[in-house]
Amino acid sequence: MSCSFYDMDWNYLADQSLGQHAGNVVRVKKPECYDELLSVCRKLAEGHPQVRVDLYVTGGHVYFGEMTFTFQGGYIDYITPEKLLELGQQITLPKKK
């Protein structure tokens, strides 16, 4: 399995992977339907403090896969600790009622 990271402007982010995924990078061309992918993700993720939305592009069409609310159960061993901290700092949890 390869693991590559991009920012929201599709800039490749190097040195984000650890372990078996370090150096196992496949650079992916930006999908022609990237704006549609972002739109669908934003709609599906609305109201959730954190969720991974899996979408697939086949034949130029966008397909929904799943939404994951506890990605890897919090045990991600192939992303650098710095990147995990950065991602975690982007989450705003709702206030207690």
One digit per residue, the tens of pLDDT, for the chain of length 97 reads 566 778 899 988 776 655 555 555 678 899 999 999 999 999 999 999 889 899 999 998 999 999 988 766 667 676 777 777 887 888 888 888 7
pLDDT in tens, 57-73: 999 899 999 998 876 66
What is the predicted pLDDT for the residue at 31? 93
Q: C-alpha distances in angstroms, 6 versus 26, 28, 96?
A: 12, 9, 33
- SS3 sequence of 6-71: ECCCCCEECCCECHHHCCCCCCCCCCCCHHHHHHHHHHHHCCCCCCEEEEEEECCEEEEEEEECCH
Which pLDDT score is estimated for 90? Answer: 82
Instruction: Report how far residue 49's alpha carbon sits from residue 18's, in angstroms, rounded to the nearest whole number.
Output: 26
What is this structure's pTM? 0.74
